[in-house]
Chains A and B, each alone.
Chain A
Amino acid sequence: MKQLMIEASTPLCQLQDGGRFGVRHLGVTQGGALDWVAMYWANWLLGNALDAPVIEVALGGFSVLAEQDCVLALAGADLDARVDDQPLAAWRSFTLAKGQRLTLRQPKQGVRAYLAAPGGFHGEAVLGSCATVVREELGGIDGLGAALGKGQMLSFAGSPAALCEVPEALRPGYPQKPLLDLVMGAQIGDFSGTSLFEAFNSDWTLDSRADRMGIRLLGPQLVYQGAPMISEGIPLGAVQVPPDGQPIVLLNDRQTIGGYPRLGALTPLALAQLAQCMPGVSVRFRAVVQDEAWRGQQAYLQRWR
């Protein structure tokens, strides 16, 4: 058993994994890493299961002290990571010697970084997952849904793998204005023609009202002309349009059912990109059909097989 002591943390530093499944009918949300691509790579670097528990650090403000020599891996956003005072590049595994301090300071590119440990960080699995969902009081180190806090110990028990890095060609880029694939949903024909044109031809700016439940987007007002809806299941990435006409992308900690009309849902890759966008960044949507999106996702997953 190896341990890291948390010296600094924020409510946005949480234990996450692939999320909870098979419990949505009970009103339990999914949870899990917002940028699953970066989580997969962090775990891949150590030979872990790709969805093993990792630390999701949004925006920085996180620091740990090694109690023993250990090997860790970092992927995702550039949060100005340092080992003691030395800059640490992401997308690779690295050693943190006893007494050394790893710090993720502040965002330089992207928003969320993922720290992995051999075998995955220990957490109390609740309803099949360690994913922290603060609102539901589920997951995390103690199972009660708390974010990571100063003074807590992170532990893991796996054996260190040889140091390696993610091949540069396979690392996701974090473009200035990402183009996000949106699988068109059933209500898309119930928006006005103008709204549909604007949905896919306008810039959408990320609002500061953003959390793990959803991200609001600002842009032209979209007009829904269909009948009021009865609440129904909400998939990950659903782009719902409330009466104010400003879309909300629903993320891992979303409510499980809801009654606002939807343009459709972002693809997993689009969600991973969105998770790395700061408020104020502009994105665009590209309409895709379900089968094409499915095939694209299967092709992308080949890189880890």
Chain B
Amino acid sequence: MKVRIEVVAIDSLMVRLFDSIDEANMPWMLAASQRLSAALGTHLLDLVPSYTTLMVQFDLPPAEAKALILQALDGLQPDTGSAGRRHEIPVWYHASVGPELPVLAARSGLSEDEVIRLHSERDYPVFALGFAPGFGFMGLVDPQLATPRLSTPRKRVAAGSVGIAERQTAAYPAVSPGGWNLIGRTPVRLFDREREGYSLLQPGDRVRFVAVSHAQFLALGGDDSPLEAGA
């Protein structure tokens, strides 16, 4: 891990910590986020973590901000203890709400049950939130499940849809366009303006998807209406 700082805008610097996507980055990224928040205090306008970087927006002269950032990250140690919550997210894996479930099975030569087992048997770190409020980019899924995005994105993906793109997985917090391969749906609300912190998932959290039956999905408040025909 080597800290590099790059200019990105008049009031923003990119703090680059790594060069590739790796779960092992996360404890370092969390530790760096905490130190930067503390060091910049009220001068920090926004801190945008992604897989390998932290974008820092500030209301300070850039040279001062850069000095504070370098000082804050000096001797950085990974945060392996307290940081990040673990969520169990129930998913009804079914072709009616996850039309690519049979597609993934056929592609990989696995049964649908094996696809479900592989998707739900490991904890995924939340690398970053983006695309939409509360949309967490998670991974990495088993290589057998890796599937490119749809060549033509859907105009409408239902809220709660769980999908795979390459080796990443995510759940759509709200209805939106989307190009991920859908394999199921969760009844959980991922973004709620009334919730403290708004988003269920925060960068650095860990997620385990848990397969539930159709009946359990409905009992948890899930909406099983199929995707719009042809959407």
Contacts and interface: CB of A to CB of B under 8 A. Distances in A.
B178 interface: no
Contacts of A24: 46-48, 57
Contacts of B198: 23, 26, 28, 127
Interface in A193-247: 230-238
Nearest to A185: B8
Nearest to A187: B6
Interface string B42-84: 0001111111111101000111000000000000000000000
Nearest to A126: B193
B100 to A, nearest CB: 22
A135 B199 CA distance: 17
A205 to B, nearest CB: 24
B21 interface: yes
B17 to A, nearest CB: 11
Interface in A1-35: 21-28
A58 interface: no
A264 B9 contact: yes
A297 interface: yes
Contacts, number: 134
B128 interface: yes
Interface stretch (B91-99, B112-120, B131-139): B131-139
Contacts of A291: 61-63
Interface of A: 21-28, 126-127, 135-138, 143, 183-186, 230-238, 255-258, 262, 264-265, 267-268, 289-291, 293-294, 297
Interface of B: 6-12, 14, 20-21, 45-55, 57, 61-63, 128-135, 137, 174, 176, 191, 193, 197-199, 202-203
Given A238-B8, A290-B10, 17 more contacts: A23-B46, A24-B47, A24-B57, A25-B202, A127-B198, A138-B193, A183-B7, A185-B9, A230-B20, A231-B50, A233-B12, A233-B49, A236-B9, A257-B50, A265-B12, A290-B7, A294-B11
30 contacts: A21-B45, A21-B46, A25-B129, A26-B197, A26-B199, A27-B131, A126-B193, A135-B132, A136-B133, A138-B133, A184-B7, A185-B7, A230-B51, A230-B53, A232-B51, A232-B53, A233-B12, A234-B55, A235-B11, A235-B55, A255-B130, A256-B48, A257-B50, A257-B130, A264-B8, A265-B9, A265-B10, A267-B10, A268-B10, A294-B62
